């Protein structure tokens, strides 16, 4: 049987809880933080990455992956033809929003909305790149979220600042907290459990808040390289090299976080460009 894993931030946690709600038969087995896996058992070819864009398994995510994994449910793969040329038209939606569309989940309360807007700091991104966000929200039938947000902006912001941030980001930084695992144990499990319970209550889920409290026996650490990109020619060469290394499954994940930078996670130190 396949299992699923998720990212270590708020978008990953909320997405994992929603995914589990609609896939009760698929067990959760761990995290990936773009450098290391923390798993209850070794990763298998049929496992699923939620809020992740890995190169070797099926994934659901929103990050630009130059490798273009054919087994990925990713809006950028579906709507963009050239990641470098169209970088500033990339999908700004978080994975929570992608799952809202996938499972036809309707947001009906301000607490639900606040969690959606909080994930990956979407509400700050929306204020900066409004037109691109509106375009993608319309593609996914989620434009009503912004109508709700504008109608009760102050209350949504209050919920984020006074309810969500104190739980998930005690230092007061939006989306700053990460899942921390050391020696196979979840180090900040009380915070993660409290945040999970908040999400469960807001969405009316049947998932247990202790979903993430496992014995993570497997830890795999990898090499992360940041490859600078200055033009289309360099981008094409890097993508070609990633695909060559991918044939031997050396590349674990690749992400274009900025137009001039591609992060590549590999099982061993290989020349990229």
Phi and psi for 54 in degrees, rounded to 5? -80, 165
Calpha distance 239→191 (Å, rounded)? 39
pLDDT score of 218: 93
pLDDT for res 257: 86
pLDDT for 149 equals 96
Query: What confidence score (pLDDT) does residue 49 get?
Result: 98
Number of Cα atoms under 13 Å in the Cβ half of residue 182: 5
| Cα–Cα distance, 216 to 255 (Å, whole number) | 25
The CB density around residue 165, as the number of other CB atoms within 10 Å, is: 19
Q: In this structure, is the dihedral angle defined by the CA atoms of residues 129, 134, 136 and 137, taken in order, positive or negative?
A: positive
Q: On the CB side of 176, how many CA atoms lie within 13 Å of its CA?
A: 9
Contact 101/191 with Cβ under 8 angstroms? no
- pLDDT (tens digit, 0 to 9) for every residue of the chain, 273 residues total? 899 999 999 999 999 999 999 999 999 999 999 899 999 999 999 999 999 999 999 999 999 999 889 999 999 999 999 999 999 999 999 999 999 999 999 999 999 999 999 999 999 999 999 999 999 999 999 999 999 999 999 999 999 999 999 888 766 565 566 888 888 898 889 999 999 999 999 999 999 999 999 999 999 999 999 999 999 999 999 999 999 999 899 999 999 989 999 999 999 999 998
The two beta strands, 58-60 and 48-50, are: parallel
Residue 174, pLDDT score: 56
């Amino acid at each position: 049987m396949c299992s699923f894993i998720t990212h270590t931030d708020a978008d990953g946690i909320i997405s994992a809880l929603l995914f589990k709600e609609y896939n009760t038969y698929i067990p959760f087995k761990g995290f990936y933080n773009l450098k290391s896996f923390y798993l209850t058992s070794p990763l298998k070819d049929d496992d699923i990455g939620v809020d992740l864009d890995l190169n070797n398994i099926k994934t659901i995510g929103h990050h630009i992956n130059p490798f273009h994994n054919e087994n990925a449910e990713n809006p950028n793969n579906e709507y963009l033809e050239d990641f470098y040329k169209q970088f500033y038209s990339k999908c700004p939606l978080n994975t929570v929003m992608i799952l809202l569309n996938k499972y036809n989940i309707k947001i009906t309360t301000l607490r639900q909305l606040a969690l959606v807007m909080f994930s990956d700091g979407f509400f700050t991104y929306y204020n900066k790149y409004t037109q691109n966000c509106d375009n993608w929200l319309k593609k996914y039938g989620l434009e009503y979220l912004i109508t709700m947000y504008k109608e009760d902006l102050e209350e949504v912001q209050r919920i984020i600042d006074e309810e969500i941030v104190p739980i998930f980001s005690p230092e007061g930084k939006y989306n700053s907290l990460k899942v921390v695992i050391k020696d196979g144990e979840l180090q900040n499990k009380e915070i993660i459990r409290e945040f999970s319970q908040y999400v469960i209550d807001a969405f009316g889920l049947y998932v247990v808040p202790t979903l993430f409290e496992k014995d993570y026996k497997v830890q795999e650490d990898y090499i992360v390289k940041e490859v600078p990109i200055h033009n289309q020619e360099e981008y094409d060469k890097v993508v070609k090299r990633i695909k060559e290394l991918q044939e031997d499954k050396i590349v674990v994940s690749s992400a274009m976080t900025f137009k001039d930078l591609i992060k590549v996670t590999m099982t061993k130190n290989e020349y990229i460009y």
